Amino acid sequence: MPTGIDRRTALAATLTAGVMLAAQGCATAQQSAAAVSLKGYQAKPLPFDPKTIPGLSERILVSHHDNNYVGAVTRLGAIEAQVVQLDPAAPGFMFNGLKREELLAMNSMILHELYFASLGRGGGKPGAQLSAQIEKDFGSQQKWRDQFVAMGKALGGGSGWVLLMWSPRAGKLVNQWAADHTMAIADGRGLIALDMYEHAYHMDFGAKVAAYVDAYMGALDWANADREFARTGAS
Ligand SMILES: [Fe+2]
């Protein structure tokens, strides 16, 4: 058993190491963490030509991807490298802080990939399987759309996500509200993501949030949602 002094010394060393790692940046932490074989994450390129999305400018789509999405992927790698360095005897707040940031960055990566995968030239509709499920769970395509759009517009002035999710437990599709990256249905598979953070629209629309939601719906592409829904094994 370590003595009180030993334990305090160890904690001080851990805290100092944490501060040093933070000060030295990701590269050192990643080098040190290589021994535990970190998975690492590669940012994906935009899955479309940003000049071709109706209603959303190339400028905002590239900024959203390069600054917010790539930033989250980069941050996730740096956080994971620090998590593996953390002494199990470190104070709880260090675990709470790092693991919370890890969850934020990981879900930011996943939800942004779903957001970009949900955009295209618009004008289409879901495939037969997903269409049938939407009609079953929402009453009609229009009722799904009306609810999804109303949820997006209701988030104006705040931020968050509107997500079309499949829940195996509920056995149905759910339009889900989320105030930040950490709130997603625990067993959900994301089908459609609408990003309601200001960085997703302010450059193009200013405070006209409703116009952004309408533009997003005009560019909505169902191909990725159809593929993801088929993978759920539902229906
Ligand atoms: Fe975003």
Q: Which residue is it, tokens 């932490």?
A: 29
Mean pLDDT of 62-78: 95
Range of the domain at 84: 4-117
Summarize pLDDT for 147-156 with one digit per residue, the tens: 999 999 999 8
Single residue among 117, 142, 165 that ends a domain in this structure: 117
The DSSP code for 55 is T
Calculate helix-pair angle for 4-24, 26-33, nearest 10 degrees.
Answer: 120
Say yes or no: 102 and 187 in one domain. no
Mean pLDDT of 109-119: 96
Say yes or no: 81 and 169 in one domain. no
**Domains identified in the chain, total number:** 2
Say yes or no: 15 and 103 in one domain. yes
Single residue among 64, 91, 117 that ends a domain in this structure: 117
Find the 73 Cα to ligand 1 centroid distance in Å.
12
How confident is residue 32, by pLDDT bands cut at 50, 70 and 90? very low
Is position 56 within any domain?
yes
Tell which wins on pLDDT, 120 or 7.
120
The answer for residues whose C-beta is within 8 angstroms of residue 196's C-beta and 6 or more apart is 152, 155, 156, 158, 159, 160, 161, 162, 209
The answer for residues whose C-beta is within 8 angstroms of residue 50's C-beta and 6 or more apart is 58, 61, 62, 65
The answer for residues whose C-beta is within 8 angstroms of residue 197's C-beta and 6 or more apart is 68, 159, 160
Distance set, CA 141 to CA 144, 149, 161 (Å): 5, 12, 20
Find the 81 Cα to ligand 1 centroid distance in Å.
24
Residues 76, 82, 84, 86: is their CA dihedral positive or negative? negative
Find the 188 Cα to ligand 1 centroid distance in Å.
20
What pTM did the predictor assign? 0.81
Find the 34 Cα to ligand 1 centroid distance in Å.
30
Find the 41 Cα to ligand 1 centroid distance in Å.
18
Tell which wins on pLDDT, 10 or 180.
180
Find the 77 Cα to ligand 1 centroid distance in Å.
18
Mean pLDDT of 78-88: 92
Find the 200 Cα to ligand 1 centroid distance in Å.
5
Distance of CA 229 to the CA centre of its chain: 18
> How far apart, in whole angstroms, are the C-alpha atoms of residue 180 and residue 172?
23
Is position 70 within any domain?
yes
Select from 40, 31, 112, 111 the least CA-distant residue to 76: 40
- Residue 169 above 90 pLDDT? yes
How confident is residue 29, by pLDDT bands cut at 50, 70 and 90? very low
Mean pLDDT of 212-232: 96
Find the 170 Cα to ligand 1 centroid distance in Å.
28
> How far apart, in whole angstroms, are the C-alpha atoms of residue 164 and residue 148?
8
Say yes or no: 68 and 33 in one domain. yes
